[in-house]
Amino acid sequence: MGGKTVTRMDLSEAVYQRVGLSRTESSELVEMVLDTICERVVLGETVKLSSFGSFVVRKKNERVGRNPKTGEEVPITPRRVMVFKPSNVLKMAVLDGHKAGIKESKT
């Protein structure tokens, strides 16, 4: 069930075809949006995209893990991780295999 990977170029092309900006402007717009999302997540902020989902930074405390080969206990240092939480709209679209209002790609 593996699908195609959507790249920045694919996103820029979709903006170009659907919005009517030039290819250069479309590419710059996609880059600005992705840069803004990255900047906010790095600052520890939650980025919520309505009907899509949220990018959330979580803090994980120090804990004890286990080396699966040796069984030896190993400390895992505290860290920040980013998780994506899909919206209910996106969850339902994936479950149903489609979503009304989202045009399927012609590629």
Q: For every one of its 107 residues, what pLDDT tens digit does the chain have, with 9 covering 90 and above?
A: 567 899 999 999 999 999 989 999 999 999 999 999 999 999 999 999 999 999 999 999 999 999 999 999 999 999 999 999 999 999 998 888 865 555 555 44
Q: With contact defined as beta carbons under 8 Å apart, do 69 and 79 qualify?
A: no
Neighbours of 1 (CB within 10 A): 2
Predicted pLDDT of residue 103: 54
Predicted pLDDT of residue 2: 62
Predicted pLDDT of residue 107: 44
Predicted pLDDT of residue 1: 52
- Which two structure tokens, joined as six digits, stand for 69? 């080969």
